[in-house]
Structure 1
Amino acid sequence: MEERWNLIVICADTFRADFLGCYGNEWIRTPNLDIFAEKSVIFKEAYAEGLPTIPARRVFFTGNRLFPKWRIVEHKGDPLGWQPGWHALEEEEITISEILQDNGYITGFITDVYHLFKPTGNFHRGFDSWEFIRGQEADPYVTGPRDTVDPARYLKTFKRERRIHPLEQYLLNVRERKKEEEYFVARVMNKACKWLSDNIGNKPFFLWVDCFDPHEPWDPPREYADIYNKGYGGVEYIVSPGFEVPNPPEHLSFAPGGSVDYYSEDEVRRIRALYAGEVTLVDKWVGKLFEKIDELGLWNNTVVVFTSDHGTLLGEKGLIHKRAYELIKPETRIPLVIWTPNGEKGEITAYVQSYDLTPTLLALLNVEKRPAMDGRNMWKLVEGEAESLHEYVITAYCSYLSIRNREWNYIVTYRTKNVPRVIGGRYLEPRLYKLDDDPQEEVNVASMYPHIIEKMERIKDRIIGTM
């Protein structure tokens, strides 16, 4: 009987594709992921379908489009429940873990993404074992003593109140951290290495490894940021200004992002260096996982994937951090690199979407996908059976929608019966970017091309009308 392949998926939150050497970056150090990519298939034009954290993983796990089916289900105690797509997995939603479990796979899930293990999540469904590493971001993990941390070191203004501030919460969570091995990405990857060692006899297996880095707080060991910005002596802005301005002006009002106008040029350079340091830190510890895969001899019988849920903004459009209404390439494109034991390698430039991942992985494992899955098998592009899968790609985030093809990116405020009001900002007039002339997507030419607007509106109406 032919040996069945194992599957390892590594997802790193908020990892910009263009901060990888294999995606053309020439100044970020990502040696481990670049070596991995050299022997793998790189999907150069992969885009997230639903943003941010929970909607993106819902799409990954189910292989289904989320927009415009998503809805708003507010939960007590969840400050993000007002966003569409953040509700728990529905009973009828079938996940890749459940499918593989039903097909004889031992399934494991290791993550520090605390949103995934809120009581409202249910994302551990279908996993035989799961390990949630506590303390990331504003995870309510440690409550005191509060006077042992100093959020004012990281903010221009800070006033301690009765309710624990999100940054204060993070600092409490990590206050006993002393060495690099105690950083979250290191803990996640070390747990993944141990899981592989413990389950080497449980073949076939599926392991989903999900680390929150390089999502903010951008808090790498100082030496990592100093690689890219040595000698800085100012405030380390590891979170955005949205965390400190009680009644922010309009340019700061769309949490969690902020304007570069809030910072000096030196501070903006440092923020980019903090993010770059996070990226290099993640690369190092993903490299440790690759070493374990090598040590256990798993490359010849295991599909290995590296991807992310979305990117972020680092000065583009004058903004820092992701923004619901700025669905431009640095935020919506994701890295997607896949190794198979057959050794296929090269670059695919056709459009693919995040909901194509699960059907593709099931096809590689010779496991039948569910008929209701929206996603398509990307490996047909690799094997030459198809030249393209999508004429355009879409990305939705709160009440904003991007429709992107080779020539244009159209960003529009939408409403549906499930999302009847504007969520995540204010109503904005349509924006249209001509990508050949404006690859940075800086100049809105909507007024110059009404016929393109009409075409994009028809596409939008068709997408919404199919649900």
Structure 2
Amino acid sequence: MLVIDGWSAGFLSSYGTAWLETPALNQLAAQSILVEHATVETLNLDQLYRSWFRAAHPLAPEDGFDLAAQLAQVGVPLHLLTDEALLRDAAGSFGLASAEFLPCSEPQITEHEDETELARIFALVCDWLDSDGGDELIWAHARGMAGAWDAPLDYRRSLAEDEDPEPPTYATPPSSRPEGKIEPDELLGLSQAYGGQVLLIDTLLEELLATIGALPVDRQPLLIITSSGGIPLGLHRQIGRDAALPLALFSNLTQTPLMLRLPGAAQGLTRVQSLASSSDLPATLLAWFAAPQPTRAADAARSLLLLDLPPRDRTLCATGDDLYLRTISWGARVSSDGKCQLFGKPDDRWDVNDVANRCQQITPLAIELAQQTRDAIQQGAPLPELPKELTQGLA
């Protein structure tokens, strides 16, 4: 399990981006089950990990379920490997077999990709693949785009045209909430710096895939690569994530890449168009290791490897007082004051065109469903019925 924080689905060619050449990521997509519409259920990292390790939505009531303990009962230890100190509290609350925290120094541009923060994580995962320790789960979490933007500058320069300004040289991700228009050169520099980190992921992934491919099929692991939420790069007047700055939920933050590579690349070239949520990941791991699932009266989580199961009809991301509801046809951001921004899906992938005022029959339904879904999850109750209007897109 490899989680790269801050990595948005909008920066992969397999999700529609044409300006980044990422052959290793393309190879992974071709060898994997690729989930087109995966939603993270909160952008609060501590809450997200607690929800992952208890196999539940972050808003769901506590019931004592422990993913690590459940896996240990079937002989599968769960090891956490991370460079994110914020996960210490969550890690200490569950029965992990081990938790290794890699120290981080002051962010600075490196001369070679092997010196980057991400490279340390990938190297340790590759070392683990070379060992034969039996069934176990390595859960590797990288600060990724939320950490140092430390790829060599040549990665950024490769994304610049001859007439472009020199790409920025900062290694600390910028964070601001501009009041007015953001200058085009600033947006360009942001995309180049961020894109350089995506190229770094691609370079490191090439070695990881080669290491897996060199193993006999019966020793190849299930490899899951995803993100714990994106980082805004100017869209919706938001740049970067910072605890001191407000963060409005939009799909560029809540939609994450999600690819599952089975041993021998079985079921490769499978693209799943139905909705998936972050709490489906622990359900997938429990199913993979044949461990019992939580017994809850109301739980929408399901294994992403069981492609014949009925799909989710909605996902809900909750961060602070903001809600982001997604159905197959709509995305709705509902703020704490009950106001709603509405976006037609799947065409408006990144929530550019707010149609709340044009769809005055849909908007109140979306607000009500988001709030009722939140309340039902908090109470451990069945989800409210989805109005048929929220399954039908723009005419």
TM-score clears 0.5: yes
User: In the superposition, relative to structure 1, how do residues 33 and 377 fare at CA in structure 2: closer, same or farther (>3 Å)?
Assistant: same
Any conservation in 1 of the 2:330–2:342 contact (CA below 8 Å)? yes
SS at match of 1:433: strand
Shift in Å, 1:351: 0.5
Q: Quote the residue 2:44 is aligned against.
A: 52
User: In the superposition, relative to structure 1, how do residues 338 and 260 fare at CA in structure 2: closer, same or farther (>3 Å)?
Assistant: farther
Shift in Å, 1:409: 1.9
- 2:175 corresponds to 1:224: no
Q: Quote the residue 2:390 is aligned against.
A: none
Q: Quote the residue 1:309 is aligned against.
A: 228
Aligned-partner Cα distance in 2 for 1:349–1:456 = 21
Any conservation in 1 of the 2:283–2:302 contact (CA below 8 Å)? yes
Q: Quote the residue 2:286 is aligned against.
A: 362
- 2:124 corresponds to 1:191: yes
- Of 447-456 and 390-399, deviating more is 447-456
Shift in Å, 1:40: 1.4
Which of these residues, 118, 128, 134, is aligned with residue 97 of structure 2? 128
- 2:351 corresponds to 1:351: no
Long gaps (5+) in structure 1: 1-8, 70-89, 137-169, 243-256, 415-426
* Deviation digits for residues 198-250 of structure 1 (CA, Å, limit 9, x no counterpart): 4x1x21121111111122443321111111126744753444654xxxxxxxx
Aligned-partner Cα distance in 2 for 1:341–1:437 = 33
Long gaps (5+) in structure 2: 380-395
Kindly provide the amino acid, as one letter, of the partner of residue 142 in structure 2.
C
SS at match of 1:42: strand
Any conservation in 2 of the 1:63–1:374 contact (CA below 8 Å)? no
- Between the aligned residues of both structures, percent identity stands at 22
Q: Quote the residue 2:261 is aligned against.
A: 339
Any conservation in 2 of the 1:114–1:135 contact (CA below 8 Å)? no
Aligned length in residues = 369
Any conservation in 1 of the 2:111–2:152 contact (CA below 8 Å)? no
After superposition, residues 51-200 of structure 1 pair within 5 angstroms as: 51-67=43-59, 93-117=64-88, 120-122=89-91, 125-135=94-104, 170-171=106-107, 179-198=112-131, 200=132
Which of these residues, 277, 283, 302, is aligned with residue 202 of structure 2? 283
Aligned-partner Cα distance in 1 for 2:173–2:77 = 40
- TM-score normalised by structure 1 residue count: 0.71
Q: Quote the residue 1:433 is aligned against.
A: 343
Which of these residues, 122, 137, 157, is aligned with residue 206 of structure 1? 137
Aligned-partner Cα distance in 2 for 1:286–1:97 = 26
* Deviation digits for residues 292-342 of structure 1 (CA, Å, limit 9, x no counterpart): 323343665521111111122223224322586532221111111112237
SS at match of 2:279: helix
User: In the superposition, relative to structure 1, how do residues 264 and 286 fare at CA in structure 2: closer, same or farther (>3 Å)?
Assistant: same
Any conservation in 2 of the 1:59–1:355 contact (CA below 8 Å)? yes
Shift in Å, 1:458: 2.8
- Of 436-445 and 35-44, deviating more is 436-445
Aligned-partner Cα distance in 2 for 1:410–1:99 = 35
- Of 331-340 and 187-196, deviating more is 187-196
User: In the superposition, relative to structure 1, how do residues 306 and 65 fare at CA in structure 2: closer, same or farther (>3 Å)?
Assistant: same
User: In the superposition, relative to structure 1, how do residues 374 and 123 fare at CA in structure 2: closer, same or farther (>3 Å)?
Assistant: farther
Aligned-partner Cα distance in 2 for 1:25–1:211 = 23
Any conservation in 1 of the 2:287–2:303 contact (CA below 8 Å)? no
Q: Quote the residue 1:420 is aligned against.
A: none
SS at match of 2:357: helix
Q: Quote the residue 1:410 is aligned against.
A: 332
User: In the superposition, relative to structure 1, how do residues 107 and 297 fare at CA in structure 2: closer, same or farther (>3 Å)?
Assistant: farther
User: In the superposition, relative to structure 1, how do residues 275 and 93 fare at CA in structure 2: closer, same or farther (>3 Å)?
Assistant: farther
Any conservation in 2 of the 1:112–1:134 contact (CA below 8 Å)? yes
Shift in Å, 1:380: 6.5
Aligned-partner Cα distance in 2 for 1:298–1:210 = 25
User: In the superposition, relative to structure 1, how do residues 275 and 132 fare at CA in structure 2: closer, same or farther (>3 Å)?
Assistant: same
- Of 395-404 and 29-38, deviating more is 29-38
SS at match of 2:137: strand
Shift in Å, 1:32: 1.6
- 2:319 corresponds to 1:397: yes
- Of 257-266 and 36-45, deviating more is 257-266
Shift in Å, 1:350: 0.4
- TM-score normalised by structure 2 residue count: 0.83
- Of 280-289 and 305-314, deviating more is 280-289
For the pair shown, the structure with the greater C-alpha radius of gyration is: 1
Q: Quote the residue 1:6 is aligned against.
A: none
User: In the superposition, relative to structure 1, how do residues 464 and 106 fare at CA in structure 2: closer, same or farther (>3 Å)?
Assistant: closer
Shift in Å, 1:93: 4.1
Aligned-partner Cα distance in 2 for 1:266–1:213 = 24
User: In the superposition, relative to structure 1, how do residues 301 and 192 fare at CA in structure 2: closer, same or farther (>3 Å)?
Assistant: closer
Kindly provide the amino acid, as one letter, of the partner of residue 97 in structure 2.
D
Any conservation in 2 of the 1:394–1:401 contact (CA below 8 Å)? yes
SS at match of 2:207: helix
* Deviation digits for residues 338-391 of structure 1 (CA, Å, limit 9, x no counterpart): 122371131110011111111122112222112138352244652x343x2x21
